[in-house]
Amino acid sequence: MIAQKLDDLGVDYIEGGFPLSNPKDAAFFREVRTLGLKHAKVSAFGMTRRRGTKPSDDPGMRALVDAQTPVVCLVGKTSDYQVTKVMNVTLEENLEMIADSVAYCREAGRQVVYDAEHFFDTYKANPEYALKTLLAARDAGAGVLVLCDTNGGSMPELVAEAVEGVIRKVGRDVTIGIHTHNDSGVAVANALAAIRAGANHAQGTINGVGERCGNMDLTTLIANLRLKYGCDALQSDSLTHLTEVSRYVYEIANMSLVNGQPYVGSSAFAHKGGMHVHAVQKDSSTYEHVSPDSVGNSRKVLVSELSGVSNIASLAGKKFDLENDKVTMRKVLENVQNLENAGFQFDLAEASFELLVRKEIGKHRAFFSLDHYRVSVFKSDNTDAVSEATIKLHVGEKHEHRVAEGDGPVNALDGALRKALKDHYPQIADVHLVDYKVRVINSKDETAAAVRVVIESRRSKSDGTKEVFGTIGVSANIIDASWQALLDAYEYHLSHCEEEL
């Protein structure tokens, strides 16, 4: 699914892993052939042949060819130290291993991308041998030579110097690539330095996913290349889908979004300070370096104790006809400030903020009222913990008394609440919890500390689109804080369902 999305975005190469390493990677190479990719070329990834072995006799090399991908990416040793001390081969034999492996894949009709592992560290210590490994790959038929900052410790000036030196030595008949890790926090900067020095092939991952501190984040690199340097990266209309692809990959990989991620993060174009919001409303360039629309993102105005009336007006003014009602907006702001002093935070709980406004202006509807709930947890030495929730509430004149079990107390409470409401409000089937966060507010109180619960939910709107929204609860009791956030999520969803009819 991710491969299909990357192809739609216009990515040139999709590296699918080592086909011999595990059944999952092998299955990927079988199934990707059925996708009918329109643009991207799929690449199998593996190492050069083993020492003292012909490529045709090496199971790893045969697996790369058997994967039937149009491209093979081979990683070889650049470090003279690792060649002699880790691999226990001579420097000359390592060059032969590189050349033999590249030639074997070329003879099988594959385009070869050669990854020079630990290139920059070796270029700094032994540039002569580092360049010999590249020449061995080039002369054997590799079409792309990728310079790898494997440990992620190089700085941009070294990367630029090395790329320029490589181009002078190997010529421009072969493509020079860059592969960076983010261990020093400069993976994107290093990739940009390499490209400005002459590289035109960049390896990375969507959202920077990767070992240790991650690989270079392609979403940031792509946006910088297109918007800052005017480079012809990807397809002409792909940039506006960048945020969509980023969040799609997070969802498929079951990872939480990074709010502060450049360009595509949910906070990349978020404004909290009242002065900022006031200025952005007049001219967005005052506090935004690019338009959020350019990368498929959107502007967000946050509300907090730092906010001014401008924030309230931006968030709720038009929707609730408050733009000229300064008195009401100041009451809302004062309420927000008092609640934040008690531990609430509305940055990621915009739905709870909207409900707060509705209550202030008399447009809030309570769809049900709670009589009581009870949650218990059963655990013995030989069983997993099981939670059970009992809830009694009133929906108009009707009384509902329901019980549900769950993996945890919040899951059980949610299940009981759904059972109690489904006959009255069947539309609750269209809202689901997607993330749950707990934060201790006053840790000095240890186990008696109050906690903040933020729930992220996804709802299906009447027009078929999806909306992700946040709700919040604060209490010294984690179950009660969770109940507050759940209650807000249901009331927000049901309020909008009524308005969408």
pLDDT tens for each residue of 41-62: 999 999 999 999 999 999 999 9
**Domain containing residue 402: CATH number:** 3.30.160.740
| pLDDT attached to residue 315 | 63
Q: Examine the domain organization and report whether 356 and 326 are in the same domain.
A: no
- pLDDT averaged over every residue in the chain: 90
Is 231 inside any structural domain?
yes
Q: What is the pLDDT of residues 72-96, one digit of tens each?
A: 999 999 999 999 999 999 999 999 9
Q: Examine the domain organization and report whether 208 and 101 are in the same domain.
A: yes
Q: Examine the domain organization and report whether 121 and 13 are in the same domain.
A: yes
More confident of the two residues 306 and 358: 358
Q: What is the pLDDT of residues 394-435, one digit of tens each?
A: 999 999 999 999 989 999 999 999 999 999 999 999 999 988
| pLDDT attached to residue 443 | 62
pTM: 0.72
> What percent of the chain is modeled with pLDDT above 90?
66
> What percent of the chain is modeled with pLDDT above 70?
93
| pLDDT attached to residue 447 | 59
| pLDDT attached to residue 26 | 87
Q: Examine the domain organization and report whether 208 and 231 are in the same domain.
A: yes
When computed from its CA atoms, the radius of gyration of the chain, rounded to whole angstroms, is: 28
pLDDT at 306 over 60: no
Say how many CA atoms lie within 13 Å of 414 toward its Cβ.
22
Of the three residues 404, 424, 444, the one that is the final residue of a domain is: 424
- Measured distance CA(391)–CA(377) in Å, rounded: 15
Q: What is the pLDDT of residues 291-300, one digit of tens each?
A: 999 999 887 7
Q: Examine the domain organization and report whether 154 and 27 are in the same domain.
A: yes
β pairing state of 41-47 and 13-15: parallel
Q: Examine the domain organization and report whether 55 and 203 are in the same domain.
A: yes
pLDDT at 307 over 60: no
Is 263 inside any structural domain?
no
C-alpha angle 258/261/267, rounded to 5°?
A: 80
| pLDDT attached to residue 385 | 87
**Domain containing residue 457: CATH number:** 3.30.160.340
Q: Which residues contact 498 (CB under 8 A, 6 or more apart)?
A: 365
| pLDDT attached to residue 119 | 98
Is 440 inside any structural domain?
yes
Is 255 inside any structural domain?
no
Is 383 inside any structural domain?
yes
| pLDDT attached to residue 287 | 79
Report DSSP letters for 419-478, one per residue: HHHTTT-GGGGGEEEEEEEEEES-GGGGGG--EEEEEEEEEE-TTS-EEEEEEEEEESSH
| pLDDT attached to residue 347 | 73
**Domain containing residue 7: CATH number:** 3.20.20.70
- Measured distance CA(389)–CA(374) in Å, rounded: 6
| pLDDT attached to residue 234 | 86
| pLDDT attached to residue 444 | 64
| pLDDT attached to residue 301 | 67
Contact status, residue 73 vs residue 113, Cβ threshold 8 Å: yes
Eight-state DSSP code of residue 85: I
| pLDDT attached to residue 254 | 76
Q: Examine the domain organization and report whether 96 and 6 are in the same domain.
A: yes
pLDDT at 1 over 80: yes
Q: Which residues contact 415 (CB under 8 A, 6 or more apart)?
A: 389, 404, 405, 406
Count the domains in the chain.
Answer: 4
Contact status, residue 303 vs residue 349, Cβ threshold 8 Å: no
Q: What is the pLDDT of residues 316-347, one digit of tens each?
A: 656 777 777 778 888 887 888 788 778 888 87
Q: Examine the domain organization and report whether 352 and 327 are in the same domain.
A: no
Q: Examine the domain organization and report whether 102 and 240 are in the same domain.
A: yes
Q: From edge to edge, which strands make up the β-sheet containing 466-475? A: 431-440, 451-460, 466-475
More confident of the two residues 118 and 236: 118
Q: Examine the domain organization and report whether 206 and 324 are in the same domain.
A: no
| pLDDT attached to residue 133 | 98
| pLDDT attached to residue 225 | 96
C-alpha angle 48/162/148, rounded to 5°?
A: 35
Q: What is the largest CA-CA distance in the chain?
A: 87
pLDDT at 174 over 70: yes
Q: Which residues contact 35 (CB under 8 A, 6 or more apart)?
A: 3, 4, 7
Contact status, residue 46 vs residue 65, Cβ threshold 8 Å: no
Q: Examine the domain organization and report whether 79 and 168 are in the same domain.
A: yes
381-402 average pLDDT score:
92
Q: Examine the domain organization and report whether 161 and 39 are in the same domain.
A: yes
Residue ranges making up the domain that contains 435: 342-361+430-501
Is 254 inside any structural domain?
no
| pLDDT attached to residue 303 | 65
Is 149 inside any structural domain?
yes
Q: Which residues contact 412 (CB under 8 A, 6 or more apart)?
A: 375, 387, 388, 389, 404, 405, 406
Is 257 inside any structural domain?
no
pLDDT at 497 over 60: yes
Which of 120-134, 201-215, 433-447 is the least confident region? Answer: 433-447
Contact status, residue 315 vs residue 303, Cβ threshold 8 Å: yes
